[in-house]
Amino acid sequence: MEEQNPQEESLKFNPRIDLGKLQEAVAQIKGQIGKVIIGQQNMIELLIISILADGHSLIEGVPGVAKTITAKLLAKTLNVGFSRIQFTPDLMPSDILGTSIFNVKTIEFEFKKGPLFSNIILIDEINRAPAKTQAALFEAMAERQITIDGLEFDMEPPFLVFATQNPVEQEGTYRLPEAQLDRFLFKINVEYPSLEEEIQILESKHEQKNRNPEELIKSVLTAKQIAEYQETIKEVIVEDNLMKYIASIVNNTRTNANLYLGASPRASIALMDASKAMAAINGRDFVTPDDIKKVAYPILGHRIILTPEREMEGITTEKVVQQIVEGIEVPR
């Protein structure tokens, strides 16, 4: 019988928190979505993290890169309520919140809930709705509640918004205000697939014939399990030196000469929560600097604004975030 090397034994790591079921659930979700979606692993992983960290996500990419279908299939893997809302320039707040209707029998007004009263909300082309509708959505995203006719309605957990927008066509769109962008945990930039992935997409589509891709997806998690895993994420350890590392990164965005607007303290909290979820899905009950680096740009990219001079020079927010992260000493 081969003897165990004492050094190897000392390197073994037994997590303080049982993450086995969480990892298994994440693997099942990825497996279900992988039946239909080829590639886009970064988008899928970040969306799963946003669920575990209880945060909304904004998905940006050109038409046809599977933004909507990926979010829709992810919602299908969760046994919770789902609503899809297509935002248009004529959409009014009552179209998403609901409206009070007079009941002749009771001689009273009754509130009929709109599509926003669900668990997973997929909003297509979020930047096409006018300011009034954006403001109505903003309260629901920010406070997990809706106020109508002086009455408050709490949103049933989980309540998560996955929104898409097209960065190319700007006609008929309304720019999202910074305060609303700040409410999104992630802004996920979706790229074109590689040549190999595009070939696989064609082969997969050919094999599926006319079958509805949603029929291939099975539910993996219930609302109760999601709540349990969200609580588990909160128990992941973040050392003091890593909290200082996170705060230093965010603070640097406020003093950086390339930036006109830096990130808020909400960004620091988002970095901590998302890095906890990143650690957990990788089987660790503690955060490492790499976890923070992986989620830094999706969290900070939409919360910062370049100075006009840097924008004219063609410098991107991604480049600035990269420089900030690389310029701060990594804790040991």
20 Cβ partners below 8 Å, 6+ apart? none
Report the predicted TM-score, pTM, of the whole model to 2 decimal places: 0.89
> Would you state the pLDDT for residue 172?
65
Q: What is the pLDDT of residue 9?
A: 47
* pLDDT value for 15: 66
**Residue-level pLDDT at 12:** 54
Stretches where the chain sits below pLDDT 50 are 1-2, 6-11
Measured in degrees and rounded to the nearest 5, phi and psi for residue 208 equal -75, -15
pLDDT at 232: 95
| Contact present, 80 and 120 (Cβ < 8 Å) | yes
Question: Please, is 150 exposed, middle or buried when counting C-beta atoms within 10 Å of its C-beta (0-12, 13-18, 19+)?
Answer: exposed
Predicted local confidence at residue 14, as pLDDT: 65
Token reading at 159: 């309540």
Estimate to the nearest angstrom the gap between the alpha carbon of 131 and the chain centroid. Answer: 22
Tens digits of residue pLDDT in 151-181: 888 999 999 999 999 887 766 677 888 888 9
Q: Is the distance from CB of 51 to CB of 158 less than 8 angstroms?
A: yes
pLDDT at position 270: 97
Task: Write out the E strands in the chain.
Answer: 56-60, 78-79, 82-86, 98-103, 108-113, 120-124, 145-148, 151-154, 160-165, 184-189, 221-222, 259-261, 305-306
User: In which element (H, E) is residue 60 found?
Assistant: strand 56-60
Q: Where are the alpha helices (DSSP H) in 189-239?
A: 195-208, 223-234
All domains in the chain, ordered by first residue: 15-207 (3.40.50.300), 236-332 (1.10.8.80)
For residues 292-302, one letter each, b for 16 or more C-beta atoms within 10 angstroms of the residue's C-beta and e for the rest, the string is bbbbbbbbbbb
* pLDDT (tens digit per residue) in 70-112: 999 999 999 999 999 999 999 999 999 988 887 777 777 788 8
* 3-state SS, residue 241: helix
- Please report the pLDDT score of residue 103 as a whole number: 77
What pLDDT score was predicted for residue 2? Answer: 46
